[in-house]
């Protein structure tokens, strides 16, 4: 999965790799038969996705989309930090200028500049963040001229079901003065994983932190990451925000991105790039300067075999083994270098301390 | 909606293949713990949300998608009659739109030039009534990446698209693309209203601006030589207070304001230098295509653009396009090299009333498809196309698909299978392209050298 914040490298969420559900190979057939199905926009039995029966049905949905877009577009803002280069999107949810965004968008920033679709600017203070749910809040500290910032209402993601129609906005690719944030329309695919939901509203870098709306124009999710397919666009469900609202507003920051890693500057690292070795183990391709790996005299070409007794058969195992620790903790690592087998003790570093 | 009726079918047989085919998607670059360079060889795959659903849910999603497509069918009835497929040696390449240029006696077909240029010598068009006719490229509008195909079969009846029955859609409007067989091929919404994708259509003052947003005005940190700003006597450290009486409150706002103006227009800038306030009138220049701001997308952005889709080779710099989230299908059978050039560009796009919105011209990335608006098509048709020459065409984009190596290997395109000349031409084109890129890189390095310490 790729975090869709502009300033981010391509990233992989560990929880998705080690979740056995995801590992099950499945080949499903999707047959397409044009069936005249029961009625329209009504959710059949609370389960079936709303279907369209005629052009009129489509038009009535289209009208809703038009209305929602006109109403919430001014509240869809672009965010960036001049200091650390963090950037993304966000949505204002009250007249005083409270902004919801993604945790990975604010990471490390205390202040962010808010840019409205019309190019106007305001200053914002980063409040709290729950990195585990990729949720964060920002407060605009400037006063609105008209007494109220444009804002969208917050809805609920609890009742969302597969097939529910949704609208995504966000400053895809970053703020562009000659373009409003692109509108995307789609439906909920799934919303089961750890308060996250996925839709087929296609997202890309820069969309991170942008809003997902239901057809009433209420915020139901915040864009978080994408996967390989057009159907794999992941949003932090608004329910997670509801549960943490007070803590986030009070400025608390907790959790870690993707359960282990990503932009979290506190994530444990050893400071290497690695590939899987042909006969098992993980081969070191690069050692970062002054990293725990370089201090422990690991070298390019070394093959990591075990970490604290755990067998490291592949990258996944290595990742999981490291993720089980905290930065500052010591691990014992067994490597093979040519014919030699060596042990090294290594103190895990912080991601934020590694220079690239 | 990122779906299309046809999209789901290949899923069935190619599911595993798809995941094998996109190793770069699961590459994590630069992450400090590891780099997932060889995930394609391991069993780790990126999950697809569809895998997580119950069969009933998948079925209901499929039914829902098909209900959208079948309900929209009446809207495309008329435009389907003016849609053709364009083929080369029995392989479909693109769609085409039948039009009647002002003053012309015979209808012609518009299609995407960069997709047919390499095989332009033996093109066929397949009309909605099921017949095939040889066609040749009679002219090109290179700015719009449009080719004009003419069909010289006596007595042939082609139904031109009624461009007067057109509409300028609202943001979020549903739009559709037809197939010649009367089915809906693509469904999407209007994501962004028509705009120019060219930097040169944006006004350029030629200043660097201070990031600080506190207080009034924006401090200038850089004045480009020979720019509008330097001609007007602006200096580093000047604080811009107003532009045409609009108060400047931050660099993003100032940048936006300037970029929305037309090159060549005059603005009055009020600024503070030391303790005095001054005013100057500036004639704005135009942004240089090569020089700045058109950020070469970061590596990972590039990766993302091709995730789940195949962007068109030519997909930038259009003078006027509507942006939609309609997924254009390209090469939906990756295991079959014969259709590597298959794409859905060139067909007409209509709204729910059947009014013509424009012609689909490029797949930009996983989130966007570009459509040339009907009004632009009309004004383009009122001008004379350029004659076809060997070097005509734009090569400003390349496919960013993850495994282009197969595509770039000679001998795999429909043109090249049996066509040595085509293969050589293609190689020549590639060499030319590389030369251009090298020259550009050299220029950049030379530019950057004096700035290095």
Residues 6+ apart with CB under 8 A from B328: B186, B309, B312, B343, B344, B345, B360, B363, B369
DSSP designation for A250 = T
Query: CA A6 to CA A308: how far, in whole Å?
Result: 36
- Tell me, yes or no, whether A179 and A77 share the same domain: yes
Highest mean pLDDT among A119-128, A318-327, B201-210: A119-128
Residue A308, in any domain of the structure: yes
Q: What is the pLDDT of residue B416?
A: 39
* pLDDT: which is higher, B92 or A58: A58
Determine the straight-line distance between the first and last CA of chain A, rounded to whole angstroms: 22
Query: CA A209 to CA A168: how far, in whole Å?
Result: 11
In chain A, which residue's Cα lies nearest the Cα of B50?
A189
- Tell me, yes or no, whether A58 and A183 share the same domain: yes
Q: Are strands A111-115 and A121-130 parallel, antiparallel or unpaired?
A: antiparallel
- Tell me, yes or no, whether A56 and A34 share the same domain: no
Has residue A13 got a pLDDT over 80?
no
Kindly determine whether residue A177 and residue B255, on different chains, have CB atoms separated by under 8 Å.
Answer: yes
Kindly determine whether residue B253 and residue A121, on different chains, have CB atoms separated by under 8 Å.
Answer: yes
Kindly determine whether residue A274 and residue B365, on different chains, have CB atoms separated by under 8 Å.
Answer: no
Alpha-helical regions (H) of B240-343: 251-259, 299-305
- What confidence tier does B197 reach under pLDDT thresholds 50, 70, 90? very high
Q: What is the pLDDT of residue A199?
A: 93
Kindly determine whether residue B46 and residue A180, on different chains, have CB atoms separated by under 8 Å.
Answer: no
Query: CA B399 to CA A309: how far, in whole Å?
Result: 46
pLDDT digits (tens, 9 = 90+) for B234-263: 999 999 999 999 999 888 888 889 888 999
- Taking CB atoms and an 8 Å cutoff, what residues of chain A touch B188? 185
- Tell me, yes or no, whether A159 and A60 share the same domain: yes
Kindly determine whether residue B61 and residue A37, on different chains, have CB atoms separated by under 8 Å.
Answer: no
CATH of the domain at A283: 2.30.42.10
Has residue A54 got a pLDDT over 60?
yes
| Average pLDDT of the residues in B424-444 | 75
Has residue B138 got a pLDDT over 50?
yes
pLDDT digits (tens, 9 = 90+) for A113-139: 999 999 888 999 999 999 888 899 999
* pLDDT: which is higher, B20 or B63: B63
Overall domain count for chain A: 3
Q: What is the mean pLDDT of chain B?
A: 77
Query: CA B416 to CA B159: how far, in whole Å?
Result: 33
| Average pLDDT of the residues in B409-435 | 60
Residue A259, in any domain of the structure: no
Determine the straight-line distance between the first and last CA of chain B, rounded to whole angstroms: 50
How far apart are the CA of A332 and the nearest CA of chain B, in angstroms?
16
- What confidence tier does A43 reach under pLDDT thresholds 50, 70, 90? very low
Kindly determine whether residue B250 and residue A113, on different chains, have CB atoms separated by under 8 Å.
Answer: yes
Residue A280, in any domain of the structure: yes
Q: What is the pLDDT of residue A279?
A: 81
Q: What is the pLDDT of residue A136?
A: 96
Query: CA B413 to CA B113: how far, in whole Å?
Result: 16
Please report, rounded to a whole number, the percentage of residues in chain B having pLDDT higher than 90. 42
- pTM: predicted TM-score of the whole model, two decimal places: 0.73
- Taking CB atoms and an 8 Å cutoff, what residues of chain B touch A261? 31, 33
- Tell me, yes or no, whether A197 and A329 share the same domain: no
pLDDT digits (tens, 9 = 90+) for B287-346: 775 443 334 346 667 778 888 888 888 998 999 999 999 998 765 555 555 556 678 899
For A284, the domain range is 268-353
Give the DSSP letter string of A154-195.
B--STT--TT-EEEE---TTS--TTSPPPPEEEEEEE--STT
Q: Which of B75, B190, B305 sits opposite A183 (nearest CB)?
A: B190
| Average pLDDT of the residues in B76-81 | 96
Q: What is the pLDDT of residue B137?
A: 94
- What confidence tier does B352 reach under pLDDT thresholds 50, 70, 90? very high
CB neighbours (10 Å) of residue A161? 17
Mark residue B346 as left, alpha or beta (left: phi above 0; alpha: psi -120 to 50; beta: remaining).
left
Has residue A174 got a pLDDT over 90?
no
Residue A62, in any domain of the structure: yes
Residue A263, in any domain of the structure: no
Do B366 and B307 contact (CB within 8 A), yes or no? Answer: yes
- Tell me, yes or no, whether A169 and A150 share the same domain: yes
Supply the angle between the helices B55-71 and B5-21 in degrees, to the nearest 10. Answer: 130
DSSP designation for B346 = T
Question: Cα A30 vs. chain centroid, distance in angstroms?
Answer: 28
- Taking CB atoms and an 8 Å cutoff, what residues of chain B touch A55? 71-72, 74-75, 352
pLDDT digits (tens, 9 = 90+) for B35-48: 222 222 222 334 56
Q: What is the pLDDT of residue B252?
A: 84
Maximum Cα–Cα distance across chain A: 74
Kindly determine whether residue A162 and residue B60, on different chains, have CB atoms separated by under 8 Å.
Answer: yes
Q: What is the pLDDT of residue B17?
A: 28
- Best mutation target among A2, A10, A83, A226 (most B Cβ atoms within 10 Å) is A10
* pLDDT: which is higher, B437 or B18: B437
* pLDDT: which is higher, A47 or A334: A334
Kindly determine whether residue A182 and residue B367, on different chains, have CB atoms separated by under 8 Å.
Answer: yes
Q: What is the pLDDT of residue B420?
A: 63
How far apart are the CA of A69 and the nearest CA of chain B, in angstroms?
7
Has residue B7 got a pLDDT over 80?
no
* pLDDT: which is higher, B380 or A287: B380
- What confidence tier does A202 reach under pLDDT thresholds 50, 70, 90? very high
- Tell me, yes or no, whether A110 and A248 share the same domain: yes
Strand partners for A143: none
- Taking CB atoms and an 8 Å cutoff, what residues of chain B touch A276? 38, 41-42
Q: What is the pLDDT of residue B14?
A: 27
- Tell me, yes or no, whether A192 and A340 share the same domain: no
Residue A232, in any domain of the structure: yes
Kindly determine whether residue B44 and residue A274, on different chains, have CB atoms separated by under 8 Å.
Answer: no
| Average pLDDT of the residues in A270-298 | 86
Residues 6+ apart with CB under 8 A from A245: none
pLDDT digits (tens, 9 = 90+) for B387-410: 987 555 554 444 433 333 333 333
- What confidence tier does A193 reach under pLDDT thresholds 50, 70, 90? low
| Average pLDDT of the residues in B54-77 | 91
Of the three residues A228, A252, A276, the one that is the final residue of a domain is A252
CATH of the domain at A211: 2.40.10.120
- Tell me, yes or no, whether A76 and A56 share the same domain: yes
Find, among B14, B1, B73, B65, the residue nearest to B339 by Cα: B14
Highest mean pLDDT among A261-265, B11-15, B361-365: B361-365
Give the DSSP letter string of B79-118.
HHTTEEEEEETTEEEEEEEEE--TT-SS-EEEEEHHHHGG
| Average pLDDT of the residues in B168-176 | 96
- Tell me, yes or no, whether A337 and A277 share the same domain: yes
Residue A1, in any domain of the structure: yes
Q: What is the pLDDT of residue A40?
A: 28
Q: What is the pLDDT of residue A19?
A: 25
- Taking CB atoms and an 8 Å cutoff, what residues of chain A touch B309? 230
| Average pLDDT of the residues in A222-229 | 86
Do A354 and A288 contact (CB within 8 A), yes or no? Answer: yes
- What confidence tier does B176 reach under pLDDT thresholds 50, 70, 90? very high
| Average pLDDT of the residues in A220-245 | 90
Maximum Cα–Cα distance across chain B: 79
Which of A23-37, A178-192, B85-99, B400-414 has the weakest average pLDDT? A23-37
- Tell me, yes or no, whether A114 and A146 share the same domain: yes
- Taking CB atoms and an 8 Å cutoff, what residues of chain A touch B35? 273-275, 285-286
Query: CA B239 to CA B215: how far, in whole Å?
Result: 11
- Tell me, yes or no, whether A229 and A329 share the same domain: no
- What confidence tier does A26 reach under pLDDT thresholds 50, 70, 90? very low
Supply the angle between the helices B73-80 and B55-71 in degrees, to the nearest 10. Answer: 50
- Best mutation target among B33, B44, B170, B293 (most A Cβ atoms within 10 Å) is B33
- What confidence tier does A109 reach under pLDDT thresholds 50, 70, 90? confident
Q: What is the pLDDT of residue B390?
A: 56
Residue A45, in any domain of the structure: no
Q: What is the pLDDT of residue B385?
A: 95
**CA separation (Å) from B349 to B64, B109, B326, B443?**
22, 15, 10, 41
Q: What is the pLDDT of residue B450?
A: 62
Length of chain A: 356
């Amino acid at each position: 999965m790729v975090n869709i914040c502009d300033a981010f490298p391509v990233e992989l969420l560990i929880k998705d790799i080690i979740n056995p559900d995801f590992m099950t190979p499945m080949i499903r057939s999707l047959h397409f038969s044009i069936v005249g199905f029961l009625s329209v926009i009504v959710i059949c039995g609370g389960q079936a996705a709303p279907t369209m029966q005629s052009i009129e049905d489509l038009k009535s949905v289209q009208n809703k989309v038009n209305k929602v877009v006109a109403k919430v577009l001014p509240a869809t803002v672009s965010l960036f930090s001049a200091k650390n280069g963090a950037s993304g999107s966000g949505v204002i949810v009250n007249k005083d200028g409270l902004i919801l965004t993604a945790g990975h968008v604010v990471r490390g920033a205390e202040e962010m500049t808010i840019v409205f679709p019309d190019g106007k600017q305001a200053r914002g203070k980063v409040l709290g963040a729950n990195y585990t749910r990729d949720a964060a809040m920002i407060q605009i500290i400037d006063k609105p001229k008209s007494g109220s910032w444009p804002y969208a209402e917050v809805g609920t993601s609890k009742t969302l079901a597969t097939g529910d129609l949704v609208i995504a906005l966000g400053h895809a690719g970053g703020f562009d003065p000659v373009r409003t944030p692109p509108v995307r329309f789609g439906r909920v695919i799934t919303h089961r994983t750890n308060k996250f939901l996925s839709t087929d509203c296609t997202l890309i870098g820069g969309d991170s932190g942008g809003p997902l709306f239901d057809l009433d124009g209420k915020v139901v999710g915040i864009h978080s990451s994408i996967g390989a397919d057009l159907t794999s666009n992941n949003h932090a469900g608004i329910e997670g925000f509801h549960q943490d609202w007070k803590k986030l507003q009070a400025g608390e920051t907790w959790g870690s991105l993707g359960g282990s890693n990503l932009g979290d500057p506190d994530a444990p690292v050893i400071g290497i790039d690695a590939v899987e070795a042909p006969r098992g183990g993980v081969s070191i391709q690069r050692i970062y300067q002054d990293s725990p790996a370089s201090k422990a005299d690991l070298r390019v070409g070394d093959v990591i075999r075990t970490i604290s007794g755990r067998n490291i058969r592949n990258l996944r195992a290595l990742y999981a083994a490291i993720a089980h620790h905290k930065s500052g903790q010591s691990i014992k690592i067994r490597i093979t270098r040519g014919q030699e087998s060596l042990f090294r003790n290594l103190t895990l570093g912080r991601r934020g301390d590694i220079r690239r | 909606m990122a779906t299309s009726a046809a999209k789901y079918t290949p899923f069935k047989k190619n599911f595993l293949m798809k995941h094998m085919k996109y190793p770069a998607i699961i590459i994590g670059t630069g992450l400090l713990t590891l780099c997932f360079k060889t995930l394609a060889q391991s069993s780790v795959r990126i999950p697809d949300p569809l895998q997580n659903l119950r069969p009933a849910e998948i079925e209901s999603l499929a039914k829902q998608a098909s209900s959208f497509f079948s309900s929209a069918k009446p809207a495309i009835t008329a435009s389907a009659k003016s849609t053709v497929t364009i083929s080369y040696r029995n392989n479909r390449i693109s769609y085409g739109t039948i039009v009647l240029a002002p003053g012309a006696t015979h209808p012609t077909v518009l299609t995407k030039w960069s997709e047919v240029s390499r095989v332009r010598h033996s093109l066929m068009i397949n009309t909605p009534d099921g017949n095939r006719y040889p066609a040749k490229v009679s002219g090109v509008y290179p700015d719009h990446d449009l080719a004009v195909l003419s069909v010289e079969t006596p007595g042939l009846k082609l139904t031109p698209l009624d461009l007067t029955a057109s509409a300028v859609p609202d943001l979020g409007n549903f739009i559709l693309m037809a197939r010649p067989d009367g089915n809906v091929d693509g469904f999407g919404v209007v994501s962004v209203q028509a705009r120019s994708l060219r930097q040169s259509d944006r006004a350029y003052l030629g200043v660097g601006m201070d990031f600080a947003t506190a207080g009034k005005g924006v401090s200038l940190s850089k004045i480009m030589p020979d720019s509008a700003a330097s001609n007007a006597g602006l200096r580093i450290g000047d604080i811009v207070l107003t532009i045409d009486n609009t108060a400047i409150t931050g660099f993003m706002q100032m940048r936006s304001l300037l970029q929305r103006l037309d090159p060549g227009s005059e603005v009055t800038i009020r600024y503070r230098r030391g303790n005095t306030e001054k005013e100057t009138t500036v004639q704005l220049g135009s942004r240089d295509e090569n020089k700045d701001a058109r950020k070469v997308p970061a590596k990972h952005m590039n990766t993302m653009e091709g995730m789940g889709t195949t962007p068109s080779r030519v997909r930038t710099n259009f003078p006027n396009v509507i942006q939609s989230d309609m997924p254009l299908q390209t090469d939906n059978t990756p295991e079959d090299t014969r259709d590597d050039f298959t794409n859905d560009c060139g067909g007409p796009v209509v709204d729910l009333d059947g009014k013509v919105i424009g012609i689909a011209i490029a797949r930009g990335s996983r989130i966007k498809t570009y459509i040339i608006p009907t009004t632009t098509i009309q004004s383009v048709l009122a001008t004379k196309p350029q004659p076809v020459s060997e070097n005509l065409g734009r090569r400003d984009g390349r496919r960013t698909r993850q495994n282009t190596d197969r595509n770039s290997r000679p001998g795999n395109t429909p043109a090249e299978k049996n066509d040595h000349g085509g293969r050589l031409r293609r190689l020549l084109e590639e060499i030319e392209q590389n030369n251009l890129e090298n020259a550009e890189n050299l220029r950049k390095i030379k530019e950057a050298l004096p700035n290095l310490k």
